[in-house]
């Protein structure tokens, strides 16, 4: 069954949260797709994933590359799955994929300061629950630890 995890970002930017979540996915042996809403965001993430930490980087590529299907982490604008990813990260309000059930996990990263984005995330939560999917909603506590909401 597909898991849907919704992370409401508060006091932490996407650029800090996303690499850590991608690393955890790779540790589990999963391939990853990160779907953004603009080429500018893909380009910024492409640069960031190489330099986000002094002692490490995340091996990745973009959908424009000839070897996109071989990438462990693929940054894209499209809804396809050329690298056979088990996990799909959705950022910047991109829609849920039509083939949601083909993934082990869908992760929505939502700007907690954007009321429309939070409302859309809650709607995704309700829709997922109505379909019988395993949906969880996460928000950081005052110390920045992720807390699962009921």
Supply 80's token pair. Answer: 């396809």
pLDDT in tens, 15-44: 999 999 999 999 999 999 999 999 999 999
Domain that holds residue 85: 3-149
Mean pLDDT of 48-67: 89
pTM to 2 decimal places: 0.94
Does the pLDDT at position 13 exceed 80?
Answer: yes
Q: Say which CATH number the domain at 36 has.
A: 3.40.50.10110
Question: What strands lie across the sheet with 32-35, from one edge to the other?
Answer: 61-62, 73-76, 32-35, 87-90, 105-111, 3-9, 134-140, 146-149
Say if residue 138's pLDDT is above 80.
yes
- Give the number of domains in the chain: 1
Share of the chain above pLDDT 70, in %: 100
CB contact at 8 A, 103 and 31: no
Angle of helix 14-27 relative to helix 39-51, nearest 10 degrees?
A: 70
């Amino acid at each position: 069954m597909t898991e849907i995890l919704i992370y409401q970002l508060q006091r932490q930017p996407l650029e800090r949260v996303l690499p850590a979540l991608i690393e955890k996915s790779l540790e589990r042996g999963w391939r990853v797709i990160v779907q953004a809403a603009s080429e500018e965001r893909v380009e910024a993430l492409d640069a960031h994933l190489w330099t986000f930490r002094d002692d490490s980087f995340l091996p990745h590529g973009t959908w424009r590359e000839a070897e996109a299907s071989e990438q462990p982490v693929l940054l894209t604008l499209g809804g396809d799955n050329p690298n056979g990813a088990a996990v799909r990260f959705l950022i910047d309000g991109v829609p849920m994929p039509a083939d949601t059930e083909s993934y082990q996990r869908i992760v929505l990263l939502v700007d907690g300061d954007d009321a429309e984005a939070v409302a859309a995330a809650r709607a995704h939560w309700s829709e997922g629950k109505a379909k019988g999917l395993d949906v969880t909603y996460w928000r950081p506590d005052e110390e920045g630890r992720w807390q699962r909401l009921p």
